[in-house]
Amino acid sequence: MTGRNLPPLSLHVPEPAFRPGDAVDYSDFEMPVAGAVRRPGIDVQPADIRDMPYEMVRVLDDDGRAQGPWDPRLAPETLLKILRSMALTRAFDDRLFRAHRQGKTSFYMKCLGEEATSVAAAHALAYDDMCFPSYRQQGLLIARDWPIVDMINQIFSNRADRLKGRQLPIMYSSREASFFSISGNLTTQYPQAVGWAMASAARGDTRIAASWCGEGSTAEGDFHSALTFAAVYRAPVILNVINNQWAISSFSGFAGAEATTFAARAIGYGIAGLRVDGNDALAVYAATQWAADRARGNHGPTLIEHFTYRAEGHSTSDDPSKYRSAEEGVKWPLGDPIARLKKHVIALGIWDEERHAAMDKELAEQVRAAQKEAEKNGILADGLKQSFDSMFEDVFEEMPWHLREQQRQMLEERRAAGI
């Protein structure tokens, strides 16, 4: 029966706090206290830490001091290496972003403001732990000292591109660095990471897997399938959600951020969930180390939400000024990950502003030299650098007859056309 006196239904449509031209006010943001969150044992039952997805692990306070039980107490050389890797990642981004604007490549994606979520995590993992990244984790390769020239060759799709121009620029692949091929299809890497981790466990290996996706991608079916398998088989895997507040043109509310945290999605699957300050390199390191020790101890998977901010556009194809206030990134209350770690190491007396400025100059020159070296192999404006017949290669171990026939036909047609 329809009630004539009932109020009409209304549909809730999420709306971001700030739109283009709005003044940004984060005064209602409740800053979590550094060092206030407990650190449970790695063998804790997920049901016993259901509160943690609603808290935020922070180590560095406003004065750059490390606080609380999550302080990883890293050696000075490790702290400085993380700082250097983050600074190199930013220098790399700046240079390749300009290369796109100069027409040297067709596409690029920066991770400005998110460097800690990949760099600090990479340092907390073993080098042979398998990483299944999304498209904003170039810091993983850089932290693992992968040659920058090789990365730029891939971005330029030139004759030295190990992927032979078959991947969109920035979608790297490096088996040697335990870095799985990036896919433009969102969240496919999640079930792949879980499957790889299950296989590692089935073999009795010691390697674990880690994967990354954006908060918007948690709405994909692959995300939930991965969590189901990870929970059922207690896969030795770390599932990272980079909550940078924005997908391309849509804010995190459309992925569910208004209702709960992304770390809380772990609760429904019965796996451990943590929420960390993604702009705090020490918090990211500590949470990753905890999850890695948990996985290696056969205690199951961990979902980590990294609360951070995408300071740049989604990609070079995106104009964030069309959908968000320009003040958001500048006023982001959790600050900049590089500036925060720099403040910490200066406070420890192992670093100073002069050395930092010299490092930035050195890294900028290193990336410039790498780009010049890669340009010798060609850039986008030079035209195609891969032979056409290579499109038939690397699909089968031995090329079947029908592909050989297609390859022969294609070559004959090109010769006939004089190309």
Confidence of residue 263 (pLDDT cuts 50, 70, 90): very high
d(CA 227, CA 208): 16
**Whether pLDDT at 2 is above 70:** no
Confidence of residue 249 (pLDDT cuts 50, 70, 90): confident
Compute the Cα dihedral for 12, 13, 19, 24 and give only its sign: positive
d(CA 375, CA 250): 36
Residue 276: what pLDDT? 98
d(CA 360, CA 337): 15
Q: Which tens digit of pLDDT belongs to each residue from 274-295? A: 999 999 999 999 999 999 999 9
From residue 133, alpha-carbon distances to 130, 173, 177, 276, 314 in Å are 10, 10, 12, 19, 16
Name every residue whose Cβ is closer than 8 Å to that of residue 407 and which is 6 or more positions away in sequence. 389, 392, 399
- Average pLDDT score over the chain: 96
- Return the closest-CA partner of residue 84 out of 366, 287, 291, 372: 366
Residue 264 structure tokens: 């809380």
DSSP, residue by residue, 179-227? BPPP-SSTTTHHHHHHHHHHHHHHHT----EEEEEEGGGGGSHHHHHHH
Residue 365: what pLDDT? 98
Name every residue whose Cβ is closer than 8 Å to that of residue 84 and which is 6 or more positions away in sequence. 359, 363
Residue 230: what pLDDT? 98
Q: What is the mean pLDDT of residues 147-156?
A: 98
H-helix or E-strand containing 240? Answer: strand 237-243
Name every residue whose Cβ is closer than 8 Å to that of residue 389 and which is 6 or more positions away in sequence. 407, 410, 411
Q: Given the structure tokens 């006196």, which residue do they identify?
A: 5
Return the domain boundaries, the chain.
Answer: 46-382, 387-419
Q: What is the mean pLDDT of residues 374-385?
A: 91
Q: Which tens digit of pLDDT belongs to each residue from 62-75? A: 999 999 999 999 99
Q: Which tens digit of pLDDT belongs to each residue from 85-142? A: 999 999 999 999 999 999 999 999 999 999 999 999 999 999 999 999 999 999 999 9
d(CA 249, CA 256): 15
The HSE-up count of residue 198 (CA atoms within 13 Å, CB side) is 15
d(CA 15, CA 7): 23
What proportions of the chain, in percent to the nearest 5, are helix, strand and coil?
A: 45, 10, 50
Name every residue whose Cβ is closer than 8 Å to that of residue 32 and which is 6 or more positions away in sequence. 55, 56, 58, 277
Q: In terms of C-beta distances under 8 Å and separation of at least 24 residues, what long-range contacts does 22-29 make, across chains too? A: 22/325, 22/327, 23/325, 23/327, 24/325, 24/327, 24/328, 24/330, 24/331, 26/331, 26/332, 26/333, 29/333
Residue 4: what pLDDT? 77
DSSP state of 138: H
Confidence of residue 419 (pLDDT cuts 50, 70, 90): confident
Residue 1: what pLDDT? 55
d(CA 213, CA 269): 18
Q: Which tens digit of pLDDT belongs to each residue from 200-247? A: 999 999 999 999 999 999 999 999 999 999 999 999 999 999 999 999
H-helix or E-strand containing 272? Answer: strand 272-277
Supply the CATH classification number for the domain 46-382.
3.40.50.970
Confidence of residue 389 (pLDDT cuts 50, 70, 90): confident
Has this prediction a pTM greater than 0.85? yes
Neighbours of 207 (CB within 10 A): 19
**Whether pLDDT at 395 is above 70:** yes
